[in-house]
Amino acid sequence: MSENERPPRREPGELRSARWYSAGGMRAFAHRQRMQQMGFRRDEFMGRPVIAIVNTWSDLSPCHAHLRERAEAVKRGILRAGGFPVELPAMSLGEVMVKPTTMLYRNFLAMEVEELLRQHPIDGAVLLGGCDKTTPGLVMGAISMNIPAIYCPAGPMLNGRWRGTKVGAGTHTRKYWDDYRAGHLSEAEMVEIEGISTRSPGTCNTMGTASTMTSIADALGLMLPGASSIPAMDAAHPRMASACGERIVEMVWSDVKPLDILTAGSVRNALHVDAALGGSTNAAVHLVAIARRAGLAISLEDFDEAARQTPVLANIFPAGDALMEDFFFAGGLTGLMSRIADRLDLDAMTVAGLSWREVLAKARVDDDTVIRPLDRPVVDRPAIAVLRGNLAPDGAVIKPSAASDHLLTHRGRAVVFDSHAELNARIDDPDLAIDETSVLVLRGAGPVGAPGMPEWGALPLPKRLLDRGIRDLVRISDARMSGTHYGTCVLHVAPESHVGGPLALVQTGDEILLDVPNRRLELLVSDEELARRRAGWQPPPQRFSRGYGVIVERHITQADKGCDFDFLEAGAAIPEPEIF
Ligand code: FES
Ligand code: MG
């Protein structure tokens, strides 16, 4: 949208909140009365944009530990611009603490955000979040409600360092744990690492799901451009939060809504940014869900295509060796986007009211070792590849940039686990027939089966192979993998085994072919034999008879469709609530 196409400013009487406060009658009287009960004068909230600060702070969300203070900075900006701030708490999905997986509750948060905004006298929203599923949850809810909204990201935590070595959240947790199991680190050293590896509030400082998804929301135009790269504890962070507050008030007056920002072009921008970041495979679920909420068609092959065209340029763990703080100093997301500008839709807009062309004209890169030029990518493999074959008719994904070269084309015999519990119980069993050519298969870990498709996809290796120095095997599952993990892990196999996908038919000893260069994943068993096995397959019994699990079991879509609830995808707008 160019300057002269911008919608005209609205009048105070046209504000959504005016329906609550400024209408005649007893109800409006009662609304104003209750606001006054809280100590607010009429002029503070009437005729002004009422802005919800949707805050996902909680005492069990370490990545969001600073969001109560940040809400105050947002309020400052809102007041300065003549708006009226109200803080609304929303479900806090602290990645590490929430079980069985935050993914189970992403749609719950999305519904909560949509309904919180709908049910209250709210004209616009600032969304505070950042830890993994929080970003898609907040964004999906805001898209469906479609009132002016701006995302204020929590920001990455500060760099970690142990004995001179950079330590990244998540990535090194797994690495050090494997070293410990192999006897290379002592108990005392592990206690030391425990205390230094996550040293400040903020989201994981690696290119995990949090940094991937906040960067994607940024690239979609839903943040003040570049906000996703600002470290949580940098003084620039509260300044950015205050600027979000100031900007959202203007967005309300000019009625700029998420669906005015999101276009096929902004989704394409997000796909290329994801590729250049070497982003988490989780993006292949969340961005699909976000785009579908906005009614924009997107397929797994779009990720594959973008990753073939745009190499990994962000030299950040797990693909590289720097952390988010280094990325910020190197130029951050806008610096990175300036490197791939020829692949982007530069006319796509941002919530700042600027197009990417205007934003990137001022972008710069100050460290080529962290934000690489196009001719010197971090790895010579793409960030994501989409596989198909008789084992994954609706697709599966792998992160070649975090996989082992020698396993990208591999033929080996399956060792099958029916559940995560069985995997943990048997993986170190001395009688388990397994060697470095084996293919570990985990099923029952998908959106319905687990439920919630947990991050179990980087299956642990048997201790006796670790002892021999083996650090990777081909692993296949219908689970997801944390963006901070690495390994030759085939993920998101769709359809999942629980609903009868071919993964359900694999038997220990079957041969499996992984051929990443040709994007193939094949179970080398004859069609006749597979048909015979299918005839004997029994669908697992329904697991939930009450509660939220019932909704998940009935309505969650498969990984290739984004794992949204079918009834929440794009559709007709829901009418405004009647006020009486
Ligand atoms: Fe919150 Fe990694 S645990 S971002
Ligand atoms: Mg994560």
3-state secondary structure of 406: helix
pLDDT of 5: 53
pLDDT tens-place values along the chain, 580 residues long: 454 555 579 999 999 999 999 988 999 999 999 999 999 999 999 999 999 999 999 999 999 999 999 999 999 999 999 999 999 999 999 999 999 999 999 999 999 999 999 999 999 999 999 999 999 999 999 999 999 999 999 999 999 999 999 999 887 888 898 889 889 999 999 999 998 889 999 999 999 999 999 999 999 999 999 999 999 999 999 999 999 999 999 999 999 999 999 999 999 999 999 999 999 999 999 999 999 999 998 999 999 999 999 999 999 988 899 999 999 999 999 999 999 999 999 999 999 999 999 999 999 999 999 999 999 999 999 999 999 999 999 999 999 988 999 999 999 999 999 999 999 999 999 999 999 999 999 999 999 999 999 999 999 999 899 889 999 999 999 999 988 888 999 999 999 999 999 999 999 999 999 999 999 999 999 999 999 999 999 999 999 999 999 999 999 999 999 999 999 999 888 999 998 7
CB 65 within 8 A of CB 201: yes
- Quote the pTM value: 0.96
CA 389 to the chain's CA centroid: 26
Structure token pair of residue 414? 């399956």
| Ligand 2 midpoint to CA 80 (Å) | 36
The answer for 311, left when phi > 0, alpha when psi is -120 to 50, beta otherwise, is: beta
Phi, psi of 29 (to 5 degrees): -55, -45
| Ligand 2 midpoint to CA 104 (Å) | 14
- Ligand 1 atom 1: residue of nearest CA: 131
pLDDT of 217: 98
Q: Is the CB of 96 under 6 A from ligand 1?
A: yes
pLDDT of 6: 54
- Ligand 1 atom 3: residue of nearest CA: 95
| Ligand 2 midpoint to CA 484 (Å) | 6
| Ligand 2 midpoint to CA 482 (Å) | 5
Q: Is the CB of 455 under 6 A from ligand 1?
A: no
State which amino acid sits at residue 84.
Answer: F
Q: Is the CB of 127 under 6 A from ligand 1?
A: no
pLDDT of 316: 95
468 vs 456: CA distance, rounded Å: 23
Phi, psi of 167 (to 5 degrees): -120, 125
pLDDT of 388: 98
266 vs 221: CA distance, rounded Å: 7
Q: Is the CB of 203 under 6 A from ligand 1?
A: yes
What atom in ligand 1 is closest to the CA of residue 62? 1
182 CB contacts (<8 Å, ≥6 apart)?
A: 463, 466, 467
Rg (CA), the chain: 24
pLDDT of 211: 97
Structure token pair of residue 18? 């005016």
CB 354 within 8 A of CB 224: no
Q: Is the CB of 484 under 6 A from ligand 1?
A: no
| Ligand 1 midpoint to CA 196 (Å) | 15
Q: Is the CB of 213 under 6 A from ligand 1?
A: no
Q: In Å, what is the CA distance from 500 to each residue of 393, 394, 478, 490?
A: 12, 12, 12, 18
Query: Which numbered ligand comes closest to the C-alpha of 283?
Result: 2
pLDDT of 1: 46
pLDDT of 282: 97
Strands (E) located in 357-477:
385-389, 392-398, 409-417, 439-442, 474-477
pLDDT of 380: 92
| Ligand 2 midpoint to CA 382 (Å) | 20
CB 265 within 8 A of CB 233: no
CB 28 within 8 A of CB 21: yes
| Ligand 1 midpoint to CA 503 (Å) | 30
- Ligand 1 atom 2: residue of nearest CA: 204
The answer for 355, left when phi > 0, alpha when psi is -120 to 50, beta otherwise, is: beta
> Within a 13 Å sphere around the CA of 142, how many CA atoms are in the beta-carbon half?
32
Q: 202, 198, 200, 210: which is closest to 172 by C-alpha?
A: 198
CB 105 within 8 A of CB 98: yes
State which amino acid sits at residue 513.
Answer: L
Query: Which numbered ligand comes closest to the C-alpha of 203?
Result: 1
Strands 385-389 and 392-398: antiparallel
> Within a 13 Å sphere around the CA of 536, how many CA atoms are in the beta-carbon half?
7
What atom in ligand 1 is closest to the CA of residue 94? 1
Q: What is the DSSP string of 76-90?
A: HHHHHTT-EEEEEE-
Structure token pair of residue 167? 């330590």
What atom in ligand 1 is closest to the CA of residue 169? 2
pLDDT of 93: 97
